[in-house]
Structure 1
Amino acid sequence: MLTHAAYRINATLERYLPEQRLFLRSDTDTRFIRLRPVTQLVAICGASMFVAWTIVATAILMMDSIGAGSSREQAQRQQAMYVERLNLLSADRDLRAEEAARAQERFNLALEQVAAMQERLLASEDRRRELETGIEVIQSTLRRTIQERDEARGKAEEATLALAETTGSTRSDEGRARDTVATLAILTDALGSAAQERDLMEGAAAKAAERADEILAEKRALQRQNDEIFARLEEAVTVSMEPLDKMFRDAGLSPDDLIETVRKGYSGMGGPLTTTLSTSGAISSPDLTRANEVLQGLDRMNMYRIAAFKAPFAMPVNTPVRYTSGFGGRNDPFGRGFRRHEGQDLAGAYGAPILATADGVVTYAGWESGYGRLVKIRHDFGIETRYAHMSQIRVNVGDRVSRGDRIGDMGNSGRSTGTHLHYEIRIGGEAINPMTFIKAARNVF
């Protein structure tokens, strides 16, 4: 049966590949090699497979070469974009710092203007009170003069009536007539002097009223100017504080608790005695209240700035990286099922510098199972950062580091499938998503 099948296959192949003979002639004899159809088929298949393998291998090599060139160009473009982004962030940071300095200068100038206006207002108030006192004195003098005039007129009438009763007639002899004329002349002079003094006092009162109106108009103009200055200052403080407040809340931190902690750590006092915007012992004016509110806002903004610098609002690398495994649940890369991932993986070049993301103290620097070469840094506000899988550690336990200091190099130590940095942030011992801090910082700095 097998022989019959082989015969049929050979007969079928002979239709397409007839038997060939390859003759080999020498000086003495002639030989030939018989090429059966099956042999030819095997040779053709082998040659076809070799050609196909050659084509596929060449294509793979060309694709790898093209892909490598594209990857390098892409990495170069990403690096250029990252450097440009860093330059933009640096320029924006310098611009913000310059704006803050200018705002501080404007605020100091505004405070000086407010103090000067307060002094002018107090001086105007004193002048107004003096004018009111002068007007009251003039009015009192006028009332007294008019009363004396009325009393003199009454006494003159009483003297005339007494003379009439004595002589029986209003007419008297020559002596009495002269006395009466002299009395009337004295009364007339007194009345004239009183009327003249009254006219002078009425003019002075009118001028005082005009001056009081001018002072009131000046006071209203100064008040409008004060309102405009305070409105601008309040708007500047609000606009500057809102992004910082949002940044802390997005990171899951309480701004009030942070400010209270910073205030406890920066509570030193002293220095020479200087004047302040105090309201003790006096009635607080609206302008003084608003000025104190602006000062409190600036103090809060300064506390925000200190807290932001002491919290890890920064990237742990300054070279191009790729975000691989994120925070939360994931499939274990070593096939151990679904596991919790308590950090953010950043894949980059071997030996790339790893930077501290905030000021702090190194509490651990060595090998730890799973993490490989690991560095732990304790920061303020109960925050801890961890940097794992390093190829080299450049700090020691107890070292105090600042934001941006190099603490190690990126590597592949420990339980790792490739070169990357495992970055963790813990608050009160509990791991949180590091991208919350990284994204919050991007929106402000």
Structure 2
Amino acid sequence: MGHRDNVLVRKLAYQLNHKLERRFPEQRLFLRSEDGTRFIILSPVTQLVGWLGSAAFISWAIIATAVLLMDSIGSGNVRDRAMREQQLYEHRLQVLADERDARAAEAVAAQERFNLALAQISEMQSELLSSEDRRKELETGIDVIQATLRRTMKERDEARGVVETMLAEAGGESGDGSSTRPADLGKTVAFLLAALDETATERDQALTAAAETRDFAENLVFDQRLRDERNDQIFRQLEDAVAVSLEPLDQMFDAVGLSSESLLDTVRRGYSGQGGPLMPLVLSTKGAETDPDTLRANEILGELDRMNLYRIAAEKLPFGMPVKSSFRYTSGFGTRWGRLHAGTDMAGPVGTPIYSTADGVVTHAGWLSGYGRLIKIQHEFGIETRYGHLSAIKVKVGQRVSRGDRIGDMGNSGRSTGPHLHYEVRVNGNPTNPMTYIKAARNVF
């Protein structure tokens, strides 16, 4: 069987060589050396196998080159897209920064308007008090004039009665033939007439003064009405401005899940001193009800005081940005690789300044396990912020810092794959998403 198989294979090989001989004629490869000349016979099958191998190698080379070219082109597109996204992100950051500056300028302008309005309210209150004093004085003067006029008219009537009585008595005595004193009687009558004329003159003067006083009082009432209308307009503008300013603050604290009332109560307990321009107006009413202007002014001052308490609370909560230079977010808060990523990563060059996001006290400033160089800052209301993977620390434990103070530099220390800041916010020891605070303050600061 083995011999028969060999014969069959040789026969098939011969037939195949015979069929391929037209396209691949037999070739001889001569090899010349010092010992002589030898040659190798290349059969058609051998040439076919060599040709197929060369074609396969060339095809593989073409495909590999195409793959490499496509990969290079794709990498270039990815880099270009990344650069475009970075430029777009930097543009959005610039727009947000411009909006923040515009909001800050509007806040400063609103504060200036508030101060001007407070000065106007103080001036108006002084004018109101002065006009009230003048009105009371005029009322007192009118009462005195009226009392004097009534007394004068009564004295005039009494004097006329006395004169008539004396004239009657004088006439009776002359009729009876008794002795009279015409000279004394004439003097008395002349004196009484003079007194009556003087009384009439005083009465006319009192009536004129009363008329002038009524006109003056009417003018005061008209001026008071104009002043009330102007006060009402000013109060409406102040109330609208306060409402517009308080709305974003309310939304900001609601967005981070903090109770505004408990927050403000805590701030009031910490800042319990009294006095200053925002104290309620206290005016003596002598038992009467407080006037509406005073009530409205006190309500506005209460809202301004609430706004001031909001400002104090906002300084003590992490509403600021830890990185103010160009950066990109690389990893957010949430589960990553089966574990909780308790903060937000912001990537940038080594040495990028890092800032405190709120007022507080430094409780840790050094190396800590996977955090590398770490800063912990304890804030009010049980809130703590952490700044990890730093290259430099610029604060010490126990140091008090304010929002916006530079506390360190971005780095790549600890378990880190590249230079970035790992930023955490913890409430009563529990990690919470820092972007909640950053987004909540975006339309305020």
Q: TM-score, normalised by structure 1?
A: 0.78
Deviations 1:14-42 (A, max 9, x none): 67995454543467657343434333222
Q: Name the SS for the 2:441 alignment partner.
A: helix
Whole-Å separation in 2 of the counterparts to 1:66 and 1:58:
12
Whole-Å separation in 2 of the counterparts to 1:368 and 1:20:
80
Q: Name the SS for the 1:442 alignment partner.
A: coil
* Aligned amino acid, residue 245 of structure 1: D
Q: Which residue of 1 aligns with 2:313?
A: 307
* Aligned amino acid, residue 442 of structure 1: R
Q: 1:132 to 1:59 in 2, by over 3 A?
A: same
Q: How does 1:189-208 map to 2 (within 5 A)?
A: 194-208=199-213
Is 1:374 aligned to 2:374, yes or no? yes
Q: Which residue of 2 aligns with 1:362?
A: 362
Deviations 1:279-326 (A, max 9, x none): 368554433343333333333322222221221102222244444544
* Aligned amino acid, residue 135 of structure 2: E
Q: How does 1:45-444 map to 2 (within 5 A)?
A: 45-83=56-94, 85-90=96-101, 92-93=103-104, 95-96=105-106, 98-149=108-159, 151-152=161-162, 155=165, 159=169, 162=172, 167=176, 194-267=199-272, 277-279=281-283, 282=286, 284-328=290-334, 330=335, 332-333=336-337, 336=338, 339-349=339-349, 352-369=352-369, 371-390=371-390, 393-404=393-404, 405-411=406-412, 413-414=414-415, 420-444=420-444
CA contact (8 A) 1:13 1:38 kept: no
* Aligned amino acid, residue 441 of structure 1: A
Q: 1:203 to 1:76 in 2, by over 3 A?
A: closer
Unpaired runs of 5+ residues, structure 2, are: none
Q: 1:212 to 1:138 in 2, by over 3 A?
A: farther
RMSD in angstroms over aligned alpha carbons? 4.2
Whole-Å separation in 1 of the counterparts to 2:273 and 2:83:
54
**How far 1:175 sits from its partner (Å)?**
6.7
CA contact (8 A) 1:395 1:408 kept: no
CA contact (8 A) 1:423 1:434 kept: yes
**How far 1:58 sits from its partner (Å)?**
2.1
Between stretches 275-284 and 431-440, larger displacement belongs to: 275-284
Whole-Å separation in 1 of the counterparts to 2:351 and 2:304:
43
Whole-Å separation in 1 of the counterparts to 2:199 and 2:351:
105
Whole-Å separation in 2 of the counterparts to 1:254 and 1:131:
57
Between stretches 374-383 and 155-164, larger displacement belongs to: 155-164
Provide the aligned length of Structure 1 versus Structure 2.
427
* Aligned amino acid, residue 127 of structure 1: E
Between stretches 18-27 and 377-386, larger displacement belongs to: 18-27
Q: Percent identity?
A: 37
Whole-Å separation in 2 of the counterparts to 1:133 and 1:268:
47
Q: Name the SS for the 1:260 alignment partner.
A: helix
CA contact (8 A) 1:324 1:347 kept: yes
Q: 1:200 to 1:356 in 2, by over 3 A?
A: closer
Q: Which residue of 1 aligns with 2:42?
A: 33
Whole-Å separation in 2 of the counterparts to 1:244 and 1:146:
75
CA contact (8 A) 1:383 1:425 kept: yes
Between stretches 28-37 and 114-123, larger displacement belongs to: 28-37
Between stretches 57-66 and 151-160, larger displacement belongs to: 151-160
CA contact (8 A) 1:358 1:379 kept: yes
Q: 1:268 to 1:212 in 2, by over 3 A?
A: closer
CA contact (8 A) 1:357 1:403 kept: yes
Deviations 1:74-102 (A, max 9, x none): 42443354345435533542x13541452
Q: 1:346 to 1:20 in 2, by over 3 A?
A: farther
Q: TM-score, normalised by structure 2?
A: 0.78
Q: 1:98 to 1:156 in 2, by over 3 A?
A: same
Whole-Å separation in 1 of the counterparts to 2:217 and 2:160:
32
Whole-Å separation in 2 of the counterparts to 1:381 and 1:253:
10
Unpaired runs of 5+ residues, structure 1, are: none
* Aligned amino acid, residue 141 of structure 2: L
**How far 1:57 sits from its partner (Å)?**
0.9
CA contact (8 A) 2:356 2:403 kept: yes
